[in-house]
Amino acid sequence: MSEIITPEQPVELKPAENKPKFSWKRVGKVIVGILLLLAVILGLWVLVTAAPVKAEWDSVVLDERNQYMPCEQLPFYRQGMTAISNHQDMLDKVRAAGASSVTLVEVKCMTDSNFFFIKGDLIIDYKNRQARSAIEKLLGNDFFGIPYIGLQK
C-alpha cells in the first residue's frame, strides 16, 4: 500500500534514476551519422547520374548504345546529312551487319536568347547483340564524325 504523507513529514525529492544525461559525445555521434548518410546518398546520386555509368548500364543491361552528349556538342544537322550522302557505301555495310534502320533526327538546341540551332543525332536500330557488335566494329564511336545512338528494337 502507499504511504500517506502528512504536512508534518518532510518530503524527500530523489532524482529520477532512468533519466538520460546530456552528452556532447552522443550529439556528435548523431551528427556524424547523419552526415555519413547524406554523403552516401550524394555519392550514389552522383554515381547513378554520371554519363559513364549510364552508358555502361545501357550497354550491359539494355543492350543499347547511347553517347550522352550535351546538345551543344552534337554536329549540325546539315553535317549529318552530308556525311550520310557521302558515305552510302558504309550505310549499306551497316544495314548488312544487321541494322534495321538508320535515321538522322533533328535536335533543337536552345540558346540563352531563345534562339535555337538544329543539330543532328544518328539513330541506328538493330535486332540483337550480334548485330550491335557488328555495327560497332564497323563504325567505332561515330559515323564519320557523327555520334550515333544504337537502339535494340
Structural domain boundaries in the chain: 22-62, 65-152
CA-angle at 127, arms to 63 and 80, nearest 5°: 85
Per residue in 94-113, pLDDT (tens digit) is 999 989 999 999 989 888 88
CATH class of 65-152: alpha beta
Confidence label for 136 from pLDDT (cuts 50, 70 and 90): confident
Rounded distance between C-alpha atoms, residue 19 and residue 58, angstroms? 56
What was the pLDDT predicted at 4? 65
**What nine digits make up the cell of 69?**
552528349
Per residue in 60-75, pLDDT (tens digit) is 777 678 787 888 888 9
In DSSP terms, 149 is beta-bridged to 123
Per residue in 11-56, pLDDT (tens digit) is 666 666 666 778 888 899 999 999 999 999 998 888 777 777 777 7
